[in-house]
Structure 1
Amino acid sequence: MAQNQTNRSMWAEEWPAPAKLNLMLRITGQRSDGYHLLQTVFQFIDMCDWIIFHPVSDGQISLQKPIPGVLEADDLTIRAAKLLKSETGCEQGVCIEVKKNLPMGGGLGGGSSDAATTLVVLNALWGLQLSTERLMELGLTLGADVPVFVYGYSAWAEGVGEKLKRIDIPEQWFVVIKPDCHVNTKEIFLSKDLTRDSKSITIDDFIAGQNQNDCVDVVRESYQSVKEALIDLSEFSEARLTGTGACVFAQFDSEVVAANAYRSLRRKWQVYLAKGVNESPLFLKLKSGSFIS
Protein backbone atom coordinates (compact mmCIF):
# COMPACT_ATOMS: atom_id res chain seq x y z
CA MET A 1 0.00 0.00 0.00
CA ALA A 2 1.31 3.43 -0.87
CA GLN A 3 2.68 5.48 2.00
CA ASN A 4 0.33 8.41 1.34
CA GLN A 5 -2.71 6.12 1.48
CA THR A 6 -1.52 4.72 4.82
CA ASN A 7 -1.03 8.24 6.11
CA ARG A 8 -4.53 9.26 5.06
CA SER A 9 -5.93 6.38 7.08
CA MET A 10 -3.80 7.32 10.08
CA TRP A 11 -5.02 10.92 9.99
CA ALA A 12 -8.59 9.68 10.28
CA GLU A 13 -7.95 7.59 13.39
CA GLU A 14 -8.38 8.04 17.13
CA TRP A 15 -5.07 7.18 18.82
CA PRO A 16 -4.94 5.86 22.39
CA ALA A 17 -2.89 7.52 25.12
CA PRO A 18 -3.04 4.95 27.91
CA ALA A 19 -2.72 5.40 31.66
CA LYS A 20 0.04 3.82 33.73
CA LEU A 21 0.42 2.64 37.28
CA ASN A 22 3.59 2.66 39.34
CA LEU A 23 3.50 -0.80 40.89
CA MET A 24 6.47 0.07 43.11
CA LEU A 25 8.43 3.26 43.85
CA ARG A 26 11.65 3.40 45.85
CA ILE A 27 13.77 6.52 46.33
CA THR A 28 17.38 5.44 46.53
CA GLY A 29 19.17 8.77 46.55
CA GLN A 30 19.27 12.35 45.32
CA ARG A 31 21.44 14.01 42.69
CA SER A 32 23.30 17.27 43.22
CA ASP A 33 20.73 19.03 41.01
CA GLY A 34 17.93 18.00 43.37
CA TYR A 35 16.41 15.26 41.22
CA HIS A 36 15.66 12.06 43.10
CA LEU A 37 17.07 8.70 42.04
CA LEU A 38 14.32 6.12 41.75
CA GLN A 39 13.49 2.54 41.16
CA THR A 40 9.97 2.00 39.87
CA VAL A 41 7.88 -0.39 37.82
CA PHE A 42 5.48 0.90 35.18
CA GLN A 43 2.55 -1.08 33.84
CA PHE A 44 -0.08 0.24 31.45
CA ILE A 45 -3.80 -0.11 32.08
CA ASP A 46 -6.54 -0.10 29.46
CA MET A 47 -7.83 3.36 30.37
CA CYS A 48 -7.01 5.88 27.66
CA ASP A 49 -7.30 9.40 26.44
CA TRP A 50 -7.91 9.48 22.68
CA ILE A 51 -6.17 11.82 20.26
CA ILE A 52 -7.09 12.70 16.68
CA PHE A 53 -4.61 14.53 14.45
CA HIS A 54 -6.20 16.75 11.80
CA PRO A 55 -4.05 17.84 8.85
CA VAL A 56 -3.70 21.57 8.17
CA SER A 57 -2.24 23.43 5.23
CA ASP A 58 -0.64 26.38 7.01
CA GLY A 59 2.08 24.59 9.00
CA GLN A 60 0.63 25.76 12.34
CA ILE A 61 0.28 23.73 15.55
CA SER A 62 -2.98 24.17 17.42
CA LEU A 63 -5.51 22.49 19.69
CA GLN A 64 -9.04 21.98 18.46
CA LYS A 65 -10.34 22.55 21.99
CA PRO A 66 -8.00 23.63 24.82
CA ILE A 67 -8.35 21.78 28.12
CA PRO A 68 -10.01 24.02 30.74
CA GLY A 69 -7.43 25.51 33.06
CA VAL A 70 -4.46 24.70 30.79
CA LEU A 71 -2.98 27.36 28.52
CA GLU A 72 -2.61 26.08 24.96
CA ALA A 73 1.11 26.92 24.99
CA ASP A 74 1.55 24.76 28.11
CA ASP A 75 -0.39 21.77 26.78
CA LEU A 76 1.98 18.82 26.48
CA THR A 77 0.60 17.73 23.09
CA ILE A 78 1.31 21.19 21.67
CA ARG A 79 4.77 21.23 23.21
CA ALA A 80 5.48 17.74 21.83
CA ALA A 81 4.39 18.68 18.31
CA LYS A 82 6.44 21.89 18.36
CA LEU A 83 9.44 19.98 19.68
CA LEU A 84 9.23 17.57 16.74
CA LYS A 85 9.07 20.46 14.29
CA SER A 86 12.05 22.25 15.81
CA GLU A 87 14.08 19.04 16.06
CA THR A 88 13.54 18.02 12.44
CA GLY A 89 12.84 21.24 10.58
CA CYS A 90 9.50 19.78 9.53
CA GLU A 91 7.26 22.38 7.88
CA GLN A 92 3.98 20.48 8.34
CA GLY A 93 1.35 21.44 10.88
CA VAL A 94 -1.48 19.80 12.77
CA CYS A 95 -4.64 20.53 14.70
CA ILE A 96 -4.77 18.23 17.73
CA GLU A 97 -8.05 17.01 19.18
CA VAL A 98 -7.83 15.43 22.64
CA LYS A 99 -10.71 13.41 24.04
CA LYS A 100 -9.83 13.51 27.72
CA ASN A 101 -10.92 10.50 29.80
CA LEU A 102 -8.07 10.15 32.28
CA PRO A 103 -8.34 12.21 35.47
CA MET A 104 -5.88 15.08 35.69
CA GLY A 105 -3.49 15.27 38.60
CA GLY A 106 -4.01 11.66 39.57
CA GLY A 107 -0.60 10.13 38.95
CA LEU A 108 -1.83 8.06 35.99
CA GLY A 109 0.43 9.90 33.54
CA GLY A 110 -2.33 11.29 31.31
CA GLY A 111 -0.50 14.41 30.15
CA SER A 112 2.75 12.51 29.63
CA SER A 113 0.93 9.80 27.69
CA ASP A 114 -0.78 12.41 25.50
CA ALA A 115 2.64 13.89 24.74
CA ALA A 116 4.10 10.48 23.91
CA THR A 117 1.23 9.56 21.57
CA THR A 118 1.75 12.91 19.85
CA LEU A 119 5.47 12.24 19.38
CA VAL A 120 4.98 8.68 18.12
CA VAL A 121 2.05 9.28 15.78
CA LEU A 122 3.25 12.57 14.31
CA ASN A 123 6.66 10.98 13.72
CA ALA A 124 4.79 8.54 11.45
CA LEU A 125 2.30 11.00 9.96
CA TRP A 126 4.98 13.52 9.08
CA GLY A 127 7.36 10.82 7.79
CA LEU A 128 10.15 11.92 10.12
CA GLN A 129 11.58 8.44 10.80
CA LEU A 130 13.09 9.32 14.18
CA SER A 131 14.09 6.25 16.19
CA THR A 132 12.25 5.21 19.33
CA GLU A 133 15.39 6.04 21.29
CA ARG A 134 15.47 9.59 19.91
CA LEU A 135 11.77 10.06 20.59
CA MET A 136 12.38 8.92 24.18
CA GLU A 137 15.19 11.47 24.53
CA LEU A 138 12.90 14.21 23.27
CA GLY A 139 10.11 13.01 25.53
CA LEU A 140 12.34 13.24 28.59
CA THR A 141 12.69 16.99 28.01
CA LEU A 142 8.89 17.23 28.35
CA GLY A 143 8.60 15.14 31.51
CA ALA A 144 10.13 12.20 33.35
CA ASP A 145 7.19 9.88 32.59
CA VAL A 146 7.05 10.54 28.84
CA PRO A 147 9.81 8.06 27.83
CA VAL A 148 7.99 4.98 29.16
CA PHE A 149 4.93 5.80 27.05
CA VAL A 150 7.18 6.17 23.98
CA TYR A 151 8.91 2.90 24.94
CA GLY A 152 5.54 1.19 24.85
CA TYR A 153 6.05 -1.76 27.19
CA SER A 154 5.88 -2.44 30.93
CA ALA A 155 9.22 -1.42 32.34
CA TRP A 156 11.56 -1.54 35.27
CA ALA A 157 12.87 2.03 35.56
CA GLU A 158 15.86 3.59 37.30
CA GLY A 159 17.70 6.91 37.30
CA VAL A 160 15.06 9.63 37.40
CA GLY A 161 12.74 7.17 35.70
CA GLU A 162 14.29 7.30 32.22
CA LYS A 163 16.48 4.15 32.29
CA LEU A 164 14.05 1.48 31.17
CA LYS A 165 14.21 -2.30 30.96
CA ARG A 166 11.35 -4.37 29.60
CA ILE A 167 9.57 -6.49 32.19
CA ASP A 168 6.69 -8.93 31.85
CA ILE A 169 4.12 -8.64 34.64
CA PRO A 170 0.93 -10.66 35.13
CA GLU A 171 -1.89 -8.74 33.41
CA GLN A 172 -4.29 -8.57 36.33
CA TRP A 173 -7.34 -6.44 37.08
CA PHE A 174 -7.21 -3.16 38.97
CA VAL A 175 -9.64 -0.95 40.82
CA VAL A 176 -8.40 2.66 40.80
CA ILE A 177 -9.79 5.44 43.02
CA LYS A 178 -9.25 9.11 42.17
CA PRO A 179 -9.61 11.10 45.40
CA ASP A 180 -10.96 14.63 45.05
CA CYS A 181 -7.60 16.36 45.34
CA HIS A 182 -4.50 17.14 43.31
CA VAL A 183 -1.26 16.08 44.95
CA ASN A 184 1.58 18.58 44.57
CA THR A 185 4.43 16.32 43.45
CA LYS A 186 7.09 18.97 44.09
CA GLU A 187 5.80 19.44 47.63
CA ILE A 188 6.03 15.70 48.30
CA PHE A 189 9.59 15.42 46.99
CA LEU A 190 10.65 18.44 49.09
CA SER A 191 9.19 17.02 52.30
CA LYS A 192 11.68 16.54 55.11
CA ASP A 193 9.83 13.35 56.04
CA LEU A 194 10.31 11.66 52.66
CA THR A 195 12.47 8.53 52.64
CA ARG A 196 15.44 9.14 50.34
CA ASP A 197 17.77 6.29 51.20
CA SER A 198 15.91 3.09 50.40
CA LYS A 199 18.09 0.14 49.55
CA SER A 200 18.13 -0.73 45.87
CA ILE A 201 16.36 -3.96 44.98
CA THR A 202 16.29 -6.26 41.97
CA ILE A 203 13.51 -7.21 39.59
CA ASP A 204 13.39 -10.59 41.33
CA ASP A 205 12.83 -8.81 44.66
CA PHE A 206 9.89 -6.93 43.16
CA ILE A 207 8.40 -10.09 41.68
CA ALA A 208 8.77 -11.73 45.12
CA GLY A 209 6.53 -9.02 46.59
CA GLN A 210 8.64 -5.98 47.46
CA ASN A 211 6.29 -3.31 46.12
CA GLN A 212 6.58 -0.43 48.58
CA ASN A 213 6.02 3.18 47.56
CA ASP A 214 8.28 5.52 49.52
CA CYS A 215 5.93 8.44 48.95
CA VAL A 216 2.84 6.90 50.50
CA ASP A 217 3.41 7.94 54.13
CA VAL A 218 4.00 11.60 53.28
CA VAL A 219 1.06 11.74 50.85
CA ARG A 220 -1.28 9.95 53.25
CA GLU A 221 -0.52 12.40 56.06
CA SER A 222 -0.75 15.46 53.79
CA TYR A 223 -3.98 14.57 51.97
CA GLN A 224 -6.88 13.30 54.06
CA SER A 225 -8.88 12.11 51.04
CA VAL A 226 -5.97 9.91 49.89
CA LYS A 227 -5.77 8.44 53.37
CA GLU A 228 -9.51 7.68 53.33
CA ALA A 229 -9.32 6.14 49.84
CA LEU A 230 -6.50 3.83 50.95
CA ILE A 231 -8.53 2.74 53.97
CA ASP A 232 -11.69 2.08 51.96
CA LEU A 233 -9.89 0.24 49.16
CA SER A 234 -7.92 -1.91 51.62
CA GLU A 235 -11.18 -3.60 52.63
CA PHE A 236 -11.02 -5.44 49.27
CA SER A 237 -7.31 -5.91 48.58
CA GLU A 238 -3.92 -4.36 49.38
CA ALA A 239 -4.32 -0.63 48.65
CA ARG A 240 -1.36 1.15 47.06
CA LEU A 241 -0.44 4.59 45.75
CA THR A 242 0.65 5.19 42.16
CA GLY A 243 3.58 7.61 41.96
CA THR A 244 2.82 10.51 44.28
CA GLY A 245 -0.91 10.04 43.68
CA ALA A 246 -3.55 11.15 44.13
CA CYS A 247 -4.83 7.88 42.62
CA VAL A 248 -4.73 4.72 44.70
CA PHE A 249 -5.20 1.22 43.35
CA ALA A 250 -5.64 -2.40 44.29
CA GLN A 251 -4.84 -5.50 42.26
CA PHE A 252 -7.19 -8.46 41.75
CA ASP A 253 -6.79 -11.92 40.26
CA SER A 254 -10.18 -11.93 38.55
CA GLU A 255 -12.48 -9.49 36.81
CA VAL A 256 -15.44 -10.70 38.88
CA VAL A 257 -13.81 -9.91 42.21
CA ALA A 258 -12.52 -6.57 40.95
CA ALA A 259 -15.95 -5.66 39.58
CA ASN A 260 -17.55 -6.39 42.95
CA ALA A 261 -15.12 -4.02 44.66
CA TYR A 262 -15.70 -1.42 41.95
CA ARG A 263 -19.48 -1.53 42.43
CA SER A 264 -19.17 -1.14 46.19
CA LEU A 265 -16.73 1.74 46.03
CA ARG A 266 -18.43 3.80 43.31
CA ARG A 267 -21.17 4.78 45.74
CA LYS A 268 -18.63 7.03 47.44
CA TRP A 269 -15.67 7.50 45.10
CA GLN A 270 -14.69 8.38 41.57
CA VAL A 271 -13.54 4.87 40.71
CA TYR A 272 -12.36 2.94 37.65
CA LEU A 273 -12.17 -0.73 36.72
CA ALA A 274 -9.17 -1.46 34.49
CA LYS A 275 -7.06 -4.30 33.10
CA GLY A 276 -3.30 -4.29 33.34
CA VAL A 277 -1.58 -4.63 29.96
CA ASN A 278 2.12 -5.03 29.27
CA GLU A 279 2.08 -3.66 25.73
CA SER A 280 0.80 -0.14 25.20
CA PRO A 281 -2.55 0.02 23.39
CA LEU A 282 -0.94 2.63 21.14
CA PHE A 283 1.68 0.19 19.89
CA LEU A 284 -0.81 -2.63 19.57
CA LYS A 285 -2.85 -0.39 17.27
CA LEU A 286 0.20 0.65 15.27
CA LYS A 287 1.30 -2.96 14.81
CA SER A 288 -2.15 -4.25 13.91
CA GLY A 289 -2.54 -1.86 11.00
CA SER A 290 -6.30 -1.98 11.64
CA PHE A 291 -6.56 1.66 10.58
CA ILE A 292 -5.54 0.72 7.01
CA SER A 293 -8.57 0.08 4.82
Structure 2
Amino acid sequence: MIQIWPAPAKINLFLYVTGQYANGYHQLQTLFQFLDYGDELIITPRCDQQIRLLTPLAGIDQEHNLITRAARLLQKQILKQDQLKRTQLQKKSSNNKNYGADISVIKYLPIGGGLGGGSSNAATVLVALNHLWQCNFTDKELAILGLTLGADIPVFIYGQSAFAEGIGEKLQSVIPIEKWYLIAHPGINIITSLIFSDSKLVKNTLTRSLATLLATPFTNDFEPIIRERFYEVKRIISWLSKYAPSRLTGTGSCVFAEFDTESLAREVLNIAPEWLHGFIAKGSNISSMRRTLSKYLVSMYT
Protein backbone atom coordinates (compact mmCIF):
# COMPACT_ATOMS: atom_id res chain seq x y z
CA MET A 1 0.00 0.00 0.00
CA ILE A 2 1.54 3.27 -1.15
CA GLN A 3 0.63 6.32 0.93
CA ILE A 4 1.54 9.98 0.56
CA TRP A 5 2.16 11.88 3.79
CA PRO A 6 2.79 15.61 4.23
CA ALA A 7 5.69 16.90 6.28
CA PRO A 8 4.61 20.49 6.94
CA ALA A 9 6.78 23.49 7.69
CA LYS A 10 6.67 25.39 10.98
CA ILE A 11 7.44 28.95 11.89
CA ASN A 12 8.47 30.35 15.25
CA LEU A 13 6.13 33.25 15.94
CA PHE A 14 8.54 34.26 18.69
CA LEU A 15 11.81 32.75 19.93
CA TYR A 16 13.77 33.70 23.06
CA VAL A 17 16.88 32.25 24.70
CA THR A 18 16.38 32.38 28.47
CA GLY A 19 19.41 30.45 29.70
CA GLN A 20 21.79 27.57 29.13
CA TYR A 21 21.98 24.16 30.77
CA ALA A 22 25.19 22.67 32.12
CA ASN A 23 25.26 20.24 29.18
CA GLY A 24 25.44 23.14 26.75
CA TYR A 25 21.84 23.03 25.50
CA HIS A 26 19.96 26.32 25.52
CA GLN A 27 16.74 27.09 27.36
CA LEU A 28 14.12 28.52 25.07
CA GLN A 29 10.66 29.99 24.99
CA THR A 30 9.04 29.79 21.58
CA LEU A 31 5.66 29.64 19.88
CA PHE A 32 5.28 27.11 17.05
CA GLN A 33 2.68 27.33 14.32
CA PHE A 34 2.45 25.10 11.24
CA LEU A 35 2.09 26.12 7.61
CA ASP A 36 -0.11 24.53 4.98
CA TYR A 37 3.05 23.98 2.94
CA GLY A 38 5.87 21.48 3.20
CA ASP A 39 7.58 18.35 1.91
CA GLU A 40 5.79 15.17 0.89
CA LEU A 41 6.82 11.62 1.78
CA ILE A 42 5.81 8.62 -0.30
CA ILE A 43 5.94 5.53 1.90
CA THR A 44 5.52 1.91 0.81
CA PRO A 45 5.78 -0.92 3.38
CA ARG A 46 8.15 -3.73 2.38
CA CYS A 47 7.86 -7.49 2.92
CA ASP A 48 11.24 -7.57 4.67
CA GLN A 49 13.10 -5.42 7.17
CA GLN A 50 14.90 -3.16 4.72
CA ILE A 51 14.61 0.60 5.15
CA ARG A 52 15.38 2.29 1.83
CA LEU A 53 15.44 6.02 1.17
CA LEU A 54 14.93 6.18 -2.58
CA THR A 55 15.60 9.92 -2.87
CA PRO A 56 18.77 10.74 -0.92
CA LEU A 57 19.55 14.40 -0.40
CA ALA A 58 22.73 15.85 -1.83
CA GLY A 59 25.42 16.29 0.78
CA ILE A 60 23.65 14.17 3.42
CA ASP A 61 24.75 10.58 3.94
CA GLN A 62 21.71 8.30 3.78
CA GLU A 63 22.41 6.69 7.14
CA HIS A 64 22.59 10.12 8.81
CA ASN A 65 19.43 11.44 7.18
CA LEU A 66 16.73 12.00 9.81
CA ILE A 67 14.23 10.11 7.64
CA THR A 68 16.32 6.94 7.71
CA ARG A 69 17.27 7.36 11.35
CA ALA A 70 13.64 7.81 12.40
CA ALA A 71 12.52 4.72 10.48
CA ARG A 72 15.29 2.59 11.94
CA LEU A 73 14.58 3.87 15.43
CA LEU A 74 10.91 2.88 15.24
CA GLN A 75 11.82 -0.44 13.63
CA LYS A 76 14.20 -1.20 16.50
CA GLN A 77 11.52 -0.41 19.09
CA ILE A 78 8.81 -2.54 17.48
CA LEU A 79 11.15 -5.49 16.93
CA LYS A 80 12.21 -5.28 20.58
CA GLN A 81 8.54 -5.18 21.60
CA ASP A 82 7.70 -8.19 19.44
CA GLN A 83 10.65 -10.14 20.83
CA LEU A 84 9.45 -9.44 24.38
CA LYS A 85 5.93 -10.62 23.54
CA ARG A 86 7.26 -13.84 22.01
CA THR A 87 9.41 -14.46 25.06
CA GLN A 88 6.48 -13.91 27.41
CA LEU A 89 4.35 -16.31 25.34
CA GLN A 90 7.26 -18.78 25.17
CA LYS A 91 7.05 -18.91 21.40
CA LYS A 92 10.17 -19.93 19.52
CA SER A 93 8.86 -19.15 16.04
CA SER A 94 10.25 -16.10 14.31
CA ASN A 95 8.18 -12.98 13.90
CA ASN A 96 5.99 -13.17 10.80
CA LYS A 97 5.64 -9.39 10.55
CA ASN A 98 8.04 -7.48 8.37
CA TYR A 99 8.83 -3.91 9.35
CA GLY A 100 10.43 -2.47 6.25
CA ALA A 101 9.69 0.47 4.01
CA ASP A 102 10.64 2.30 0.84
CA ILE A 103 10.55 6.05 1.39
CA SER A 104 10.76 8.86 -1.13
CA VAL A 105 10.73 12.55 -0.31
CA ILE A 106 9.52 15.34 -2.56
CA LYS A 107 11.53 18.24 -1.16
CA TYR A 108 10.05 21.73 -1.13
CA LEU A 109 11.44 23.12 2.13
CA PRO A 110 14.95 24.60 1.99
CA ILE A 111 17.64 23.01 4.11
CA GLY A 112 18.83 25.37 6.84
CA GLY A 113 15.89 27.69 6.33
CA GLY A 114 14.49 27.49 9.87
CA LEU A 115 11.23 25.88 8.70
CA GLY A 116 11.91 22.56 10.41
CA GLY A 117 12.03 20.42 7.29
CA GLY A 118 14.31 17.70 8.68
CA SER A 119 12.42 17.45 11.97
CA SER A 120 9.09 17.41 10.17
CA ASN A 121 10.29 14.63 7.85
CA ALA A 122 11.39 12.54 10.84
CA ALA A 123 8.12 13.10 12.71
CA THR A 124 6.04 12.17 9.67
CA VAL A 125 8.06 8.97 9.24
CA LEU A 126 7.48 8.00 12.88
CA VAL A 127 3.73 8.68 12.73
CA ALA A 128 3.23 7.14 9.28
CA LEU A 129 5.15 3.94 9.97
CA ASN A 130 3.49 3.59 13.38
CA HIS A 131 0.22 3.54 11.43
CA LEU A 132 1.36 1.38 8.50
CA TRP A 133 3.18 -1.18 10.64
CA GLN A 134 0.36 -1.15 13.21
CA CYS A 135 2.82 -0.58 16.04
CA ASN A 136 0.17 1.06 18.26
CA PHE A 137 2.64 3.37 19.99
CA THR A 138 0.98 6.43 21.54
CA ASP A 139 1.81 9.97 20.47
CA LYS A 140 3.67 10.41 23.74
CA GLU A 141 5.78 7.32 23.12
CA LEU A 142 6.56 8.50 19.60
CA ALA A 143 7.46 11.96 20.94
CA ILE A 144 9.90 10.42 23.42
CA LEU A 145 11.53 8.51 20.57
CA GLY A 146 11.59 11.58 18.37
CA LEU A 147 13.22 13.72 21.05
CA THR A 148 16.31 11.49 20.89
CA LEU A 149 16.73 12.64 17.27
CA GLY A 150 15.89 16.33 17.65
CA ALA A 151 14.27 18.82 20.01
CA ASP A 152 11.71 20.03 17.44
CA ILE A 153 10.44 16.58 16.49
CA PRO A 154 7.85 16.17 19.32
CA VAL A 155 5.86 19.25 18.27
CA PHE A 156 5.61 17.86 14.75
CA ILE A 157 4.45 14.48 16.09
CA TYR A 158 1.65 16.03 18.14
CA GLY A 159 0.85 18.31 15.21
CA GLN A 160 -0.71 21.14 17.23
CA SER A 161 0.50 24.72 17.54
CA ALA A 162 2.29 24.97 20.85
CA PHE A 163 4.19 27.12 23.29
CA ALA A 164 7.50 25.37 23.98
CA GLU A 165 10.01 25.69 26.80
CA GLY A 166 13.09 23.76 27.93
CA ILE A 167 15.07 22.92 24.79
CA GLY A 168 11.78 23.01 22.93
CA GLU A 169 10.33 19.75 24.20
CA LYS A 170 8.03 21.05 26.98
CA LEU A 171 4.85 21.76 25.05
CA GLN A 172 1.60 23.54 25.84
CA SER A 173 -1.14 23.73 23.21
CA VAL A 174 -1.94 27.25 22.02
CA ILE A 175 -4.34 28.55 19.37
CA PRO A 176 -2.74 31.62 17.75
CA ILE A 177 -4.50 33.45 14.92
CA GLU A 178 -4.09 31.60 11.63
CA LYS A 179 -2.69 34.37 9.45
CA TRP A 180 -1.34 34.33 5.92
CA TYR A 181 2.42 34.45 5.45
CA LEU A 182 4.85 35.37 2.74
CA ILE A 183 7.85 33.14 3.36
CA ALA A 184 11.06 34.40 1.77
CA HIS A 185 14.25 32.37 1.40
CA PRO A 186 17.55 34.06 0.53
CA GLY A 187 19.08 30.91 -0.95
CA ILE A 188 21.59 30.29 1.82
CA ASN A 189 21.91 27.53 4.40
CA ILE A 190 22.54 28.72 7.96
CA ILE A 191 24.06 26.12 10.29
CA THR A 192 22.24 26.16 13.63
CA SER A 193 25.29 25.30 15.73
CA LEU A 194 27.15 28.28 14.26
CA ILE A 195 24.46 30.69 15.45
CA PHE A 196 24.08 29.13 18.90
CA SER A 197 27.84 29.47 19.46
CA ASP A 198 27.99 33.13 18.44
CA SER A 199 29.50 35.20 21.25
CA LYS A 200 26.96 37.97 20.67
CA LEU A 201 23.95 35.72 21.29
CA VAL A 202 21.91 36.99 24.23
CA LYS A 203 21.27 34.02 26.53
CA ASN A 204 19.48 35.64 29.44
CA THR A 205 16.23 36.97 28.05
CA LEU A 206 13.75 37.24 30.90
CA THR A 207 11.56 34.17 31.36
CA ARG A 208 7.94 35.28 31.07
CA SER A 209 4.53 33.69 31.38
CA LEU A 210 2.70 32.70 28.24
CA ALA A 211 0.05 35.35 28.87
CA THR A 212 2.74 38.03 29.07
CA LEU A 213 4.48 36.77 25.95
CA LEU A 214 1.26 36.74 23.94
CA ALA A 215 0.57 40.33 24.96
CA THR A 216 4.08 41.50 24.02
CA PRO A 217 5.29 42.25 20.45
CA PHE A 218 6.85 39.07 19.08
CA THR A 219 10.59 38.98 18.32
CA ASN A 220 13.39 36.47 17.74
CA ASP A 221 16.60 36.65 19.79
CA PHE A 222 18.62 35.18 16.89
CA GLU A 223 17.56 37.77 14.36
CA PRO A 224 20.10 40.52 15.23
CA ILE A 225 23.00 38.07 14.90
CA ILE A 226 21.80 36.59 11.62
CA ARG A 227 21.03 39.99 10.14
CA GLU A 228 24.56 41.12 11.02
CA ARG A 229 26.26 38.02 9.65
CA PHE A 230 24.14 37.48 6.55
CA TYR A 231 23.42 40.47 4.34
CA GLU A 232 20.92 38.43 2.29
CA VAL A 233 18.67 38.00 5.33
CA LYS A 234 19.01 41.63 6.38
CA ARG A 235 18.02 42.79 2.91
CA ILE A 236 14.87 40.63 2.86
CA ILE A 237 13.71 41.76 6.30
CA SER A 238 14.34 45.40 5.44
CA TRP A 239 12.30 45.17 2.25
CA LEU A 240 9.39 43.12 3.64
CA SER A 241 9.10 45.28 6.76
CA LYS A 242 7.90 48.15 4.58
CA TYR A 243 4.71 46.18 3.87
CA ALA A 244 4.02 43.97 6.90
CA PRO A 245 5.44 42.81 10.25
CA SER A 246 8.42 40.63 9.26
CA ARG A 247 10.94 38.59 11.20
CA LEU A 248 13.20 35.57 11.17
CA THR A 249 11.85 32.10 11.87
CA GLY A 250 13.88 29.73 14.00
CA THR A 251 17.65 29.91 13.58
CA GLY A 252 17.65 29.51 9.80
CA SER A 253 17.61 31.90 6.90
CA CYS A 254 13.90 32.14 6.09
CA VAL A 255 11.92 35.28 6.88
CA PHE A 256 8.15 35.53 7.18
CA ALA A 257 5.88 38.53 6.74
CA GLU A 258 2.37 38.22 8.17
CA PHE A 259 -0.86 39.33 6.53
CA ASP A 260 -4.55 39.15 7.36
CA THR A 261 -5.54 37.86 3.91
CA GLU A 262 -4.06 35.77 1.11
CA SER A 263 -4.65 38.54 -1.43
CA LEU A 264 -2.58 41.05 0.55
CA ALA A 265 0.29 38.57 0.81
CA ARG A 266 0.19 37.86 -2.91
CA GLU A 267 0.13 41.55 -3.77
CA VAL A 268 3.42 42.02 -1.97
CA LEU A 269 4.99 38.90 -3.49
CA ASN A 270 3.95 40.10 -6.95
CA ILE A 271 5.85 43.38 -6.55
CA ALA A 272 8.88 41.84 -4.87
CA PRO A 273 12.29 42.46 -6.46
CA GLU A 274 13.84 39.68 -8.52
CA TRP A 275 16.25 38.73 -5.75
CA LEU A 276 13.41 37.91 -3.31
CA HIS A 277 12.18 34.36 -3.75
CA GLY A 278 9.30 33.04 -1.68
CA PHE A 279 5.91 31.44 -1.41
CA ILE A 280 2.55 32.12 0.24
CA ALA A 281 1.19 29.84 2.96
CA LYS A 282 -1.53 29.93 5.59
CA GLY A 283 -0.83 29.34 9.24
CA SER A 284 -2.45 26.20 10.61
CA ASN A 285 -2.92 25.20 14.25
CA ILE A 286 -3.45 21.55 13.28
CA SER A 287 -0.77 20.18 10.98
CA SER A 288 -1.56 18.65 7.61
CA MET A 289 0.19 15.48 8.78
CA ARG A 290 -2.33 15.01 11.61
CA ARG A 291 -5.22 15.65 9.23
CA THR A 292 -3.80 13.04 6.86
CA LEU A 293 -3.47 10.50 9.68
CA SER A 294 -7.13 11.07 10.60
CA LYS A 295 -8.11 10.50 6.97
CA TYR A 296 -6.19 7.22 6.77
CA LEU A 297 -7.61 6.02 10.08
CA VAL A 298 -11.16 6.71 8.89
CA SER A 299 -10.51 4.85 5.63
CA MET A 300 -9.46 1.76 7.59
CA TYR A 301 -12.93 1.39 9.06
CA THR A 302 -15.12 2.41 6.12
Work out whether the TM-score is over 0.5: yes
1:29 aligns with 2:36: no
| Two-structure CA RMSD over aligned residues (Å) | 1.4
Report the counterpart of residue 95 of structure 1 in structure 2: 102
Deviation at 1:291, TM superposition (A): 5.5
Cα contact 1:106–1:178 (8 A) shared by 2 = yes
Q: Separation in 2 of the partners of 1:113 and 1:87?
A: 20
Q: Separation in 2 of the partners of 1:118 and 1:165?
A: 23
- Identity %, equivalent residues: 42
User: Per-residue CA shift, 1:183-225, capped at 9, x if unaligned?
Assistant: 1211111111111000112222232233121111111111111
Deviation at 1:13, TM superposition (A): 2.2
Give the letter for the 1:153 counterpart.
Q
Report the counterpart of residue 5 of structure 1 in structure 2: none
User: Per-residue CA shift, 1:219-249, capped at 9, x if unaligned?
Assistant: 1111111111111111111210001120011
Report the counterpart of residue 270 of structure 2 in structure 1: 263
Cα contact 2:2–2:45 (8 A) shared by 1 = no
Cα contact 1:265–1:271 (8 A) shared by 2 = no
Report the counterpart of residue 94 of structure 2 in structure 1: none
Report the counterpart of residue 187 of structure 2 in structure 1: 180
Report the counterpart of residue 160 of structure 1 in structure 2: 167
Gaps of 5+ in 1: 1-10
The counterpart of 2:230, out of the listed 223, 229, 245, is 223
Tell me the secondary structure at the aligned position of residue 82 of structure 1. Answer: helix
Q: Separation in 1 of the partners of 2:26 and 2:63?
A: 28
The counterpart of 2:201, out of the listed 189, 194, 199, is 194
Does 114-123 or 261-270 show the bigger shift? 261-270
In the TM superposition, 1:1-293 aligns within 5 A as 11-89=1-79, 91-265=98-272, 267-289=274-296
| Aligned pairs, number | 283
**Change in CA separation of 1:291 and 1:225 when aligned onto 2, cut-off 3 Å:** farther
Normalised by the size of structure 1, how large is the TM-score?
0.93
Deviation at 1:164, TM superposition (A): 0.4
User: Per-residue CA shift, 1:254-283, capped at 9, x if unaligned?
Assistant: 111111111122632221101000001011
Normalised by the size of structure 2, how large is the TM-score?
0.90
User: Per-residue CA shift, 1:55-82, capped at 9, x if unaligned?
Assistant: 2222100111212221111111110000
Cα contact 2:45–2:132 (8 A) shared by 1 = no
Cα contact 1:26–1:198 (8 A) shared by 2 = yes
Cα contact 1:25–1:39 (8 A) shared by 2 = yes
Report the counterpart of residue 92 of structure 2 in structure 1: none
Deviation at 1:87, TM superposition (A): 1.5
Give the letter for the 1:53 counterpart.
I
Cα contact 1:13–1:291 (8 A) shared by 2 = no
Q: Separation in 1 of the partners of 2:213 and 2:179?
A: 16
> Greater Rg, structure 1 or structure 2?
2
Cα contact 1:21–1:44 (8 A) shared by 2 = yes
